Amino acid sequence: MWTLSGYGSRAKIIKDAEQGKRYWCQKSVKQKPSIMQIPEHFTELSIRMIDALDDSGAGKETVLERRGTYLRREHIEKIAHQLGGKNLECFHFGSQSEGTTTPGLQSDIDFLVSSNRINIMTVWEDWKAGFRNLLMLHDITTPPQQYLLQVIAGNTPEPATSLTDDMFVRKDSGQILLSAERWKQKIEYVTRDRGEVTRNGPSVSRVPNWDIVEACHVRKPLPEIQHWIDRCRGKHWPPVQLLEAARIAPCFLVPAGHPDSDYKREEWRLSPNLIERMLMFSFNMTQTKCYIVLKLIKKSLFANIVGDAITSFHCKTIMFFTIERTHPCLWCEHNLMFVLLLCLHVLRRWLRLGRLPHYIIEGVNLFDGKLSKLLQKRLLVYIDSLIRNNLQDVFCIGIDNISCRLQACSMRHTVQAGELRGVLLHNSIRLLLKCEYLQRLNRVLTYIQHEQSSSHSTFEHTLKYVIRNCFENSTNAMSKTAALELIKHFYALQISVQSSYYLRLQNVLDSENIRRVQYSLNSDVPSSRLKFASMLYCSGHLQAAARVLEDVEKRYHSKVKAVCGCRSIQGDRDLKVFADMLLGNTDNSELPFAFCVKFLRQESHCTPFILLFEMNRNITDEEVKQRTFTEKQWMDSAEVDARPFLYYMQYLTYGGLGERDNKLHALRNLVSYMRDNIHSINLYHPETAVNLLGHCYEMEGDYEWALNFYELSLSIRDTNNAANWHARRVLHLISG
């Protein structure tokens, strides 16, 4: 089915691989004689699979890039919630944060939050005054891994006796319990204005492609974890340092009951997510790639037999058991297919027994509620066939075009077809991850600004508080880095708010104010500089504003990608968008991203007059009620895409300087930009951009064209659009 080529230089690798296999087979002959039959082509197939995975976005650099990005996002989310008055811990778990995914696997984002105001008690001595205290209950009738949470009073260490909350239920014994099902119902109710809800096990999410779990963390030692640590001591894996870290790592109680339990609506499931993440981070690259291949097999091959009954967590558990029981020397790249075969042997063994144990918590069967006896038998038949056929079915993995990549005869065709691969794919994923990080950062900034926004004096005071606490709440290098990134943006906002206040008092911006602005000019390519230019324009420094705008235009090359924290555009996260950014772009000195330019009401005196209408874009109160949860966070401010705003500011500035030719050139650039559909992927606020264009024609005295553009804007969005005000004004001018 496939041929070998280009691997002659790897003869020593192949020889070493064969020696490793013989070593393992000699050790295993008394236990598993079937494992001795190692196909001769496995080493070459392993090397080809490694190359296919590298070409598919699962190389070492990409794995580490994903991990680093999601750990930074974790800290950004935590700081944001704390600044919003919510004392929460935030974690990204799952494939994205582990780096164990590829574009074709289309993995969801797993996010877990837990409140520091909840105190989980394992014994009565754990009670704390002023907290929501919950006592873990477990007896012989409770399934392994499951707990009931008894409500304990906050002012005295005594059991609650009244149903004072809709989430509470009374057990037959009279104990008041916190119901997991009602907990999720409460989350669903509280977030009812945030879009359509999706439930998935313990997750209640209104964010597409996100699984969001609100859990309770347990900081006390648990017998289940200690038993696992004792079981693992003296083994080559997990390492001793990991076991020591696991001993003090918090676990979580997530709202999910056992499918066969009488109390499944009340039960909470113990989940050692942090320990599992430590285990995943301890994988070497061969182990990581073996896990990715297992997931590819699950989604491409197992799914044809059992649908989605086998999950990534099943694959992860199989990996844990296999690594623990396999000599470390075997986990090298040229043995990939061999260790994959060992994983399938482990799965086959558990299928024959009808149970897949949890790697950490004893007594759990991970097939319960997931894989019925009938499906277990069907999957066992298929895995028997897969093993007998020496894993030939890996050539049928269509995800990420693995099947073609594995066959040398198709490799050249794949490249000619223009498929992203290798370095280009890695760099495209790197840009995508950075773009998504910046988008999330932008949304976090919008959330915090909305939460803290009130009046000029209190808002500026709050900004100082935010900037101080950002850094004080940082506990390690990564959280400090995240805090500094937030501080940079808030510092820039604070300067802008102060400058607006000075201008309101008709004070002149001095060199000190201008010098302070320059600290924040490198947040992205254009937006911070455009706000600076707007500040200069509004304060009468037109020559300085023109120089800043010229600098922005030089930096703003055609490959710059717009980033918006308020809206999304279909296709704007396609990897080919980011590959196109890389082609022909030799300037790597700045991030090729552009935030939308945003002005809060507290910055109104640094804002061009026409954008003040955006801060009052509704005509009626009914329009405000129509806004979504996200829209309510930003629609009381002015937000505009950076490129159209650049041309608009040039039009204003050159007009103020009396440079008619440059002014009309800026207008032509704005018209050309708006007419070209290729730019639609970077227009998140098209109605506002069209309003700017209409205002240019209005200032030119061409009211008919101005009205045409305002009507075009209204055709894009007819409500919550400042064009309603503009159209009325122009109609009044036309009618005389």
Give tens-digit pLDDT for 397-419.
999 999 999 985 444 444 444 56
d(CA 534, CA 544) in angstroms, rounded, equals 10
Task: Look up tokens 């069907």; give the residue.
Answer: 378
Tokens encoding 617:
């874009």
Residue-level pLDDT at 590: 66
pLDDT (tens digit per residue) in 15-70:
544 554 554 444 443 344 344 456 778 999 999 999 999 999 999 999 999 999 99
CA separation for the pair 303, 493 (Å, rounded): 50
User: Radius of gyration of the chain from Cα atoms?
Assistant: 30
Judge whether 696 and 595 are in contact, CB under 8 Å. no
pLDDT surpasses 60 at 456: no
Statement: residue 434 has pLDDT above 90: yes
Q: What pLDDT shows up at residue 162?
A: 94
Query: In this structure, which long-range contacts are made by residues 276-280, counting pairs with CB atoms below 8 Å and at least 24 apart in sequence?
Result: 276/93, 276/316, 276/360, 277/93, 277/97, 277/98, 278/238, 278/242, 278/245, 278/246, 278/249, 279/238, 279/242, 279/320, 279/359, 280/98, 280/100, 280/316
Q: How confident is the model at residue 273 (pLDDT cuts 50, 70, 90)?
A: very high
119, 133 contact by CB (below 8 A): yes
Is the confidence at residue 4, as pLDDT, over 70?
no
What confidence tens digit (pLDDT) does each residue in 686-736 have? 999 999 999 999 999 999 999 999 999 999 999 999 999 999 999 999 987
Distance, in Å, from the CA atom of 285 to the CA atom of 425, rounded to the nearest integer, reads 18
Q: What pLDDT sits at residue 82?
A: 80
Please state, in angstroms and rounded to a whole number, the distance separating the CA atoms of residues 204 and 517.
42
Whether 546 shows a pLDDT value over 60: the answer reads yes
Over residues 283-333, the pLDDT tens digits come to 999 999 999 999 999 999 999 999 999 999 999 999 999 999 999 999 999
pLDDT class of 480 with cuts at 50, 70, 90: confident
- 255: cis peptide before it, omega within 30°? no
Q: What is the pLDDT of residue 455?
A: 46
Produce one character per residue of 601-618: b if its CB has 16 or more CB atoms within 10 Å, e if not: bbbbbbbbebbbbbbebb
**DSSP per-residue letters across 373-388:** HHHHHHHHHHHHHHHH
User: What is the SS3 assignment for 203?
Assistant: strand
The average pLDDT across 435-441 equals 93
d(C-alpha 565, C-alpha 568), whole Å: 8
Of the ranges 222-236, 418-432, 442-456, which one carries the lowest mean pLDDT score?
442-456
**Mean pLDDT of all residues belonging to the chain:** 89
618-653 confidence digits (pLDDT tens): 999 999 999 998 999 999 999 999 999 999 999 999
Range 338-367 average pLDDT? 97
Instruction: Label residues 159-198 b or e (16+ Cβ within 10 Å = b).
Output: ebeeeeeebebeeeeebbbbbbbbbbebbeeebeeeeeeb
Give the per-residue pLDDT at 9: 44
The strand pairing partners of 204, in sequence order, are 199
Over residues 377-398, mean pLDDT = 96
Kindly give, in sequence order, each residue whose CB lies less than 8 Å from that of residue 271, ignoring residues fewer than 6 positions away. 215, 251, 252, 253, 254
Provide the pairing of β-strand 176-178 with 251-254. unpaired
Confidence of residue 186 (pLDDT cuts 50, 70, 90): very high
Contact predicate 218/135, CB 8 Å: no
Distance CA 709, CA 150 (A): 63
Helix (H) or strand (E) holding 328: none
C-beta separation of 56 from 401 below 8 A = yes
Average pLDDT, stretch 438-456?
A: 79
**297-311, 316-330, 533-547, 580-594, range with the lowest pLDDT:** 580-594
CA distance 596 to 562: 7
Per-residue confidence (pLDDT) for residue 355, from 0 to 100: 97
pLDDT at position 486, please? 83
Give the mean pLDDT of 106-128.
Answer: 96
